[in-house]
């Protein structure tokens, strides 16, 4: 058969094998995956357990709902400079390149081998030289879908890494917001502690005056002095906590922890209404951590498929062509050229149990990924349900604390007046 006819025949055969190649098995749908991932008796309700929760769509700019420009600026700064975010972006890039590498075997691999050689017979003063070049190509025809399964697994894992990066982004934004509010709280606690120290200082002055007037004993003076020292120590303790909080916040921002960041003394202003929370099932699409867990299941699914397909034969096309140049042959016009085309088939027969063990291993990893997805779903719902339930409780708690503060302030004024008038002693005063 002529060279051209052989090449055309092989080309037609490969084209037919490629077109007729097996389609990849489709992973489970989201509904099927959720059913498998959760226990039989566990169902996702159509609405949240807490009554009165708005089910309208969740707005994306939750940081803006705090209406605090300083906090919003810090969140933006952290997303640009935080070292964990830089590392996450690098991991995403690495995962994307891994997916490219996994898809490379689907295309022909081509290489060039070229060189020259010379030799000399010293006793005859004769030298010879020759050179040549060979272009070789190899292509594994993915009839069964093993290579495509590997690529699909890597692509799903890359999406999971990207989801993890998005989740980290949201986590850092939330951490910055909590840290900022915690620092505002510490500023206000320091102010309250200093005010308490000022009250005890005024009490000490009054007690000294009453002792001089022989109205109280030195024991009252010692008690007042002790309470003043304890109040000052409490202020120092809060300041230590504030330094640690500011340093941690500066590190999250990518700054050197110089403790120079100045927190606000006012809490962010938020709406009194419970924010929109969407429907429970919509949480599965909104949460990047759940999306990452789902993509890891898909990656494990295709890895399991790839392992199963290793039992089937692999078909490889090999071709090489080139020329050899030698001066003596060139004079005769006889420099050889060649073209070699071949098809190889490899059918695994015995591998010491490695193939079956790898199939079992990938199947176990897939089951683990499904279980981890189910756990991620339940933990996500727990976070939302707990936060919604606590929202009402915390609002009630805040109202009670405000009433307690109002009553305590009035009681302090009354007891100070009574101590000044001498109707109660130091023990009664300090009891409040």
DSSP readout, 5-52?
A: HHHHHHHHHHHHHHHTPPPPPPPPPHHHHHHHHS-TT----SS-SSTT
Q: 């090489």: which residue's tokens?
A: 320
Instruction: Quote the tokens at residue 276.
Output: 């929109």
Per-domain boundaries in the chain: 3-118+126-431
CATH architecture of 3-118+126-431: Up-down Bundle (1.20)
Give yes or no for a contact between 173 and 66, defined as CB atoms under 8 angstroms apart.
no
The predicted pLDDT at position 1 comes to 43
**Mean pLDDT over all residues of the chain?**
87
pLDDT digits (tens, 9 = 90+) for 69-83: 999 999 999 999 999
Question: Starting at the edge strand that comes first in sequence, how are the strands of the sheet with 109-121 ordered?
Answer: 109-121, 126-141, 314-325, 337-346
The backbone region for 401, taken as left when phi is positive above 0, alpha when psi lies in -120 to 50, beta otherwise, is alpha
pLDDT digits (tens, 9 = 90+) for 202-230: 889 988 988 888 888 888 899 889 999 99
Read off the pTM. Answer: 0.82
pLDDT digits (tens, 9 = 90+) for 298-348: 999 999 999 999 999 999 999 998 887 766 655 555 566 778 889 999 999
Looking at the predicted structure, is the pLDDT value of residue 200 above 70? yes
Give yes or no for a contact between 401 and 64, defined as CB atoms under 8 angstroms apart.
no
DSSP class of residue 275? P
DSSP class of residue 114? E
């Amino acid at each position: 058969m002529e060279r051209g006819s052989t090449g055309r025949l092989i080309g037609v055969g490969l084209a037919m094998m490629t077109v007729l190649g097996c389609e990849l098995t489709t992973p489970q749908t989201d509904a099927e995956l959720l059913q498998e991932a959760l226990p039989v008796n566990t169902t996702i309700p159509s609405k949240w357990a807490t009554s009165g929760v708005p089910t309208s769509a969740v707005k994306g700019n939750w940081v803006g709902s705090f209406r605090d420009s300083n906090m919003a600026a810090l969140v933006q700064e952290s997303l640009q400079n935080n070292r964990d975010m830089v590392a996450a972006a690098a991991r995403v890039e690495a995962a994307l390149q891994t997916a490219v590498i996994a898809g490379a075997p689907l295309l022909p691999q081509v290489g060039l081998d070229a060189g020259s050689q010379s030799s000399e017979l010293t006793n005859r003063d004769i030298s010879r030289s020759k050179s040549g070049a060979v272009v070789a190509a190899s292509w594994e025809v993915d009839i069964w879908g093993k290579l495509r399964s590997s690529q699909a697994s890597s692509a799903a894992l890359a999406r999971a890494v990207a989801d993890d990066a998005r989740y980290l982004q949201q986590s850092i934004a939330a951490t910055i917001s909590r840290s900022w509010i915690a620092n505002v709280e510490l500023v206000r606690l320091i102010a309250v502690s200093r005010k308490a120290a000022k009250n005890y200082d005024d009490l000490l002055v009054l007690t000294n005056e009453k002792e001089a007037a022989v109205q109280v004993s030195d024991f009252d003076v010692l008690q007042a002095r002790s309470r003043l020292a304890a109040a000052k120590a409490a202020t120092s303790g809060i300041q230590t906590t504030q330094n640690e909080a500011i340093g941690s916040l500066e590190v999250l921002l990518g700054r050197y922890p110089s403790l120079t960041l100045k927190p606000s003394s006012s809490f962010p202003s938020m709406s009194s209404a419970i924010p929109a929370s969407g429907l429970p099932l919509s949480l599965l699409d909104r949460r990047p951590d759940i999306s990452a867990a789902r993509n890891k299941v898909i990656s494990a699914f295709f890895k399991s498929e790839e392992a199963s397909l290793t039992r089937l034969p692999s078909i490889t096309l090999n071709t090489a062509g080139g020329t050899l140049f030698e001066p003596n042959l060139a004079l005769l016009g006889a420099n050889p050229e060649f073209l070699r085309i071949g098809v190889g088939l490899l059918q695994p027969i015995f591998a010491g149990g490695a193939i079956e063990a790898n199939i079992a291993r990938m199947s176990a990893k897939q089951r683990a990924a499904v279980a981890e997805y189910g756990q991620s779903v339940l933990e996500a719902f727990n976070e939302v349900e707990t936060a919604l339930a606590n929202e009402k409780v915390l609002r009630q708690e805040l109202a009670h604390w405000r009433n307690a503060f109002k009553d305590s302030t009035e009681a302090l004024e009354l007891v100070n007046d009574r101590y000044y008038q001498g109707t109660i002693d130091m023990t009664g005063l300090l009891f409040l």
